[in-house]
Amino acid sequence: MLAVLSPGQGSQKPGFLSPWLELPGAEARLRWWSALAGVDLIHLGTQADAEEIKDTARTQPLLVAAAMLAAEHLPMHDVGLVAGHSVGELGASALAGVLPAEAAITLAGVRGREMAAACALEPTGMSALLAGDPDEVLAGIEKHGLHPANRNASGQIVAAGSLDGLAALAAEPPAGARVRALAVAGAFHTPYMAPAEAALAAVAGGVTVHDPERILLSNLDGSAVVHGREMLQRLVRQVTAPVRWDLCMRALADLGVTAVIELPPAGTLTGLVKRELKGEGAPEIVTLNTPADLPAARDLIARHGVAPSHEPVPQFRVVVATGAGTFRPADGLAEGGDVRPGQVIGAVQTRQGPVEVTSHAAGVLTEWLAHHDDPVAPGQPLARIGGQQ
């Protein structure tokens, strides 16, 4: 399976969109999206300096536009999974078919402006904590009244909150952890962004969505979201909720992802993937930064993607939870066993009672992704069914 990843804020570089403007139709597309976002995307992506594109109000629509612009030149119908980091989830949701491109750009513009406004309400910031015991790091963050805004990988947790709290954390770091202040405008993905979440929710309520056409992972908990309306709610909630990119990468491993393409400006997310998913079975990676990288990306999709064909080809389907609770596999159903369409493979015990989980296709149960009494979230992968279509 191949995954396409959409990066978030901090990955931008001056001039990174310049080579993409040479492609037919790119300039016109960006002018249209600029009108929707309320910022000049062409200027920001080609002429603006690092300081100008660090502005949250400008950066967020710029990154979403870059991801979607590059993806237009890929055979996305052959891609099995998409995910994005922070604002990159808007781009990923568009690539999954949940949001129209115009809606993703418009929401990115609102999100960026409103988060910038929320940052101006009081002085806040963010600091990365590198290494250290995760439990001790989280306890240290809580001790100083801060919030764990990002958990990007093992040994990398980002604290956010008041400047006084961050100063106290730096003066008294958790054992074995290094604290590095980040050059950001405020405490993203914390309750300090509540005004921005409310403003985004007011606009998002009028957006028409569709259910994902491919697996779409959520930053909230790394689960695969199966309903478009739920994903839109998660996109709004994400403004104040922590980014759990560590759980998204765990899902990549659990789902057997064999190749990864990062959309421009590429490098940050694939760097984390290389660090976490290494050794035997590590995915093949392409960083898509300029149109010159498109042939390599298309080749990767051809070798690892879902190839359209009238002939039967091996496929894996993921069965996901439809509610939150604890999972119980069906008695007597083991890995390697045959599964019929509509067969109950287990149940999620919710507060309202058990909810049966069924397979929508015939095949072989190749792998349990959740086990007896494991806590599961809505959309979380439970099992992989291998078969032919």
Q: Which residues are catalytic?
A: 86, 189
Residue 163, classified by CB atoms within 10 Å of its CB into exposed (0-12), middle (13-18) or buried (19+), is middle
Q: Which residues touch 167 (CB under 8 Å, ≥6 apart)?
A: none
Q: Report the alpha-carbon distance of residue 172 to residue 19 in Å, rounded.
A: 46
Residue 188 φ then ψ, to 5°: -65, 155
Beta bridge partners of 347: 328, 356
* Two tokens, residue 168: 């106290």
- In this structure, are residues 193 and 240 in contact, taking their beta carbons and an 8 Å threshold? yes
The structure tokens listed for 293 are 């990288």
Helix axes 56-71, 88-95, angle to 10 degrees: 30
124-130 and 178-182 strand pairing: antiparallel
How many other CB atoms are found less than 10 A from the CB of residue 23?
15
CA 57 vs CA 110, 124, 145, 198, 233: distances in Å: 8, 17, 27, 16, 21
Question: CA–CA separation, 60 vs 66, rounded Å?
Answer: 10
243, 151 Cβ separation under 8 angstroms: yes
Residue 105 half-sphere exposure toward CB, CA atoms < 13 A? 22
**Length in residues, the chain:** 389
Tokens 């009238």 correspond to 310
Is residue 288 within 8 A of residue 263, CB to CB? The reply is yes
Tokens standing for residue 101:
């491109």
Report cis status (omega within 30 of 0) of the bond before 265.
Answer: yes
In whole angstroms, give the CA distance from residue 359 to residue 384.
Answer: 10
As a whole number of angstroms, the distance between CA 360 and CA 70 comes to 33
Asked if 12 and 62 count as a contact pair (C-beta separation under 8 A), the reply is: yes
